[in-house]
């Protein structure tokens, strides 16, 4: 359509406001130059040569006519203003859309931020619970691995322990060891080393108080327990009192029912009775070897061994 054609562009001239300022001579010059270029005689092989030349002539006739040119310039002006308004409108619309999208993003960002915060709190709480569970499990495992079959000693001298009962613990293999808390104390490692001379030691459990130390020593067999019972063990200045835990099965050769006039009973060798026992032994030493030889260690050890061996009440030391 002719109204859709920019006649200035067809003649190769600038359009718009600059085209309105062109003179008639400039339009004629541009037409002649363009006609020589588009003449059908010079474009015999181009099927559109004739149509292009007719279009050129029409555009020249419009621009050459003063009234037609003015109307065409007005049409271009209206189109330019419309295009400008459209561009402004599009710009405002784009800005509005951009603002709207920004507000939506901000709103969604806040919502997503809250959701992320809630999710983080939820995961953190779950992690804390898992850490607490793992610590509790490790604590229980540690207690289970470090626990002894001796949970509680009953008044009858037995051992109240579910683990001991489930494992079929033989009480004849268990020794009850006690000592005074003076000088160098006894540790589980030290007791284990002492009793390993008589056989395999399966376990040692220390049950000490401030004034008196005690322990339970589990030997591998009854013979090992009996062998350890008939010996003087530990330091000479703080010997160990070793008794079988299962007193009912004590051999007749080591019966606790016999009374020795020379010393206290075995059942009194604890607490104040132990002090009386020490005083009795010291008195016998002074009478037997004299004060001068009292501090001779070989003589002292030999006499203590003879004294304990001759007394059935003290063979458990």
Q: Tell me, what CATH number does 46's domain have? A: 1.10.287.110
pLDDT above 80 (res 42): yes
Alpha helix stretches (DSSP H) within 147-242: 162-166, 188-195, 222-229
pLDDT above 70 (res 304): no
Q: At what angle do helices 272-289 and 297-310 cross, to 10 degrees?
A: 120
Strands (E) across the chain are located at 152-153, 159-160, 174-180, 201-206, 212-219, 241-244
Residue 255 phi/psi, 5-degree rounding, is -65, 135
Q: What is the CA radius of gyration of the chain?
A: 59
In a domain, 165, yes or no: no
Secondary structure letter of residue 218 according to DSSP: E
> What is the value of pTM for the model shown?
0.32
* pLDDT (0 to 100) of residue 270: 43
What is the spatial order of strands in the sheet that 241-244 belongs to? 201-206, 212-219, 174-180, 241-244
pLDDT digits (tens, 9 = 90+) for 143-173: 776 544 444 444 444 444 444 443 557 888 8
Higher pLDDT pick, 16 / 316: 16
In a domain, 276, yes or no: no
How far, in Å, CA of 72 to CA of 139, rounded?
Answer: 96
Q: How would you label 119-146 residue by residue, b for 16+ Cβ within 10 Å and e otherwise?
A: eeeeeeeeeeeeeeeeeeeeeeeeeeee
In a domain, 251, yes or no: no
Helix (H), strand (E) counts: the chain: 10, 6
In a domain, 89, yes or no: no
Instruction: Tokens for 264, please give them.
Output: 């206290």
* pLDDT (0 to 100) of residue 61: 92
Structural domain including 196 reads 171-244
pLDDT above 60 (res 237): yes
Q: How would you label 50-76 residue by residue, b for 16+ Cβ within 10 Å and e otherwise?
A: eebbebbeebbebbeeeeebeebbeeb
In a domain, 82, yes or no: no
Q: For 107-121, 146-160, 206-220, 223-237, which range has the lowest pLDDT when averaged over its residues?
A: 146-160
pLDDT digits (tens, 9 = 90+) for 244-264: 887 644 444 444 444 444 444
How far, in Å, CA of 256 to CA of 316, rounded?
Answer: 9
Nearest 5°: the CA angle 228, 252, 219 is 25
Under a CB-based contact definition with an 8 Å cutoff, are residues 137 and 147 in contact? no
With tokens 């599009």, the residue in question is 90
pLDDT digits (tens, 9 = 90+) for 50-100: 999 999 899 999 999 999 999 989 999 998 899 889 888 888 888 888 888
To the nearest whole number, what is the mean pLDDT of the chain? 74
Q: Domain holding 201: CATH number?
A: 3.30.70.330
Sign of CA dihedral 95, 96, 99, 104: negative
In a domain, 40, yes or no: yes
Q: For 145-154, 175-184, 193-202, 297-306, which range has the lowest pLDDT when averaged over its residues?
A: 145-154
Last residue of a domain, one of 64, 82, 105: 64
Name, in order, each residue with C-beta under 8 angstroms of 238's C-beta and a sequence gap of 6 or more: 179, 180, 182, 183, 184
Q: Report, as an integer, the average pLDDT of 217-245.
A: 83
Q: How many domains does the chain have?
A: 2
Last residue of a domain, one of 15, 44, 64: 64
In a domain, 249, yes or no: no
In a domain, 25, yes or no: yes
């Amino acid at each position: 359509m002719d109204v859709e054609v920019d006649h200035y562009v067809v003649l190769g001239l600038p359009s718009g406001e600059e085209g309105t300022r062109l003179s008639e001579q400039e339009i004629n010059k541009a037409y002649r130059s363009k006609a020589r270029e588009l003449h059908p005689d010079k474009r015999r092989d181009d099927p559109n040569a004739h149509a292009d030349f007719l279009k050129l002539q029409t555009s020249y006739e419009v621009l050459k006519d003063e009234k037609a040119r003015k109307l065409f310039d007005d049409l271009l002006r209206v189109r330019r203003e419309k295009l400008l308004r459209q561009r402004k409108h599009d710009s405002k619309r784009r800005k509005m859309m951009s603002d709207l999208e920004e507000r939506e993003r901000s709103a969604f960002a806040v919502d997503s931020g809250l959701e992320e915060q809630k999710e983080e709190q939820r995961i953190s709480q779950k992690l804390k619970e898992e850490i607490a569970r793992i610590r509790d499990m490790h604590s229980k495992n540690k207690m289970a691995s470090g626990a002894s079959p001796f949970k509680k000693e009953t008044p009858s001298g037995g051992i109240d322990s579910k683990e001991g009962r489930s494992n079929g613990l033989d009480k004849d293999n268990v020794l009850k060891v006690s000592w005074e808390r003076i000088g160098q104390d006894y540790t589980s490692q030290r007791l284990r080393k002492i009793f390993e001379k008589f056989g395999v030691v399966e376990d040692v459990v220390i049950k000490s108080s401030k004034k008196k130390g005690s322990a339970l020593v589990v030997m591998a067999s009854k013979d090992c327990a009996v062998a350890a019972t008939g010996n003087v063990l530990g330091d000479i200045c703080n010997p160990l009192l070793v008794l079988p835990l299962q007193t009912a099965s004590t051999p007749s050769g080591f019966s606790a029912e016999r009374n020795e006039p020379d010393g206290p009973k075995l059942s009194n060798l604890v607490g104040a009775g132990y002090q009386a026992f020490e005083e009795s032994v010291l008195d016998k030493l002074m009478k037997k070897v004299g004060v001068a030889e009292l501090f001779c260690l070989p003589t002292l050890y030999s006499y203590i061994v003879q004294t304990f061996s001759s007394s059935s009440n003290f063979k458990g030391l």
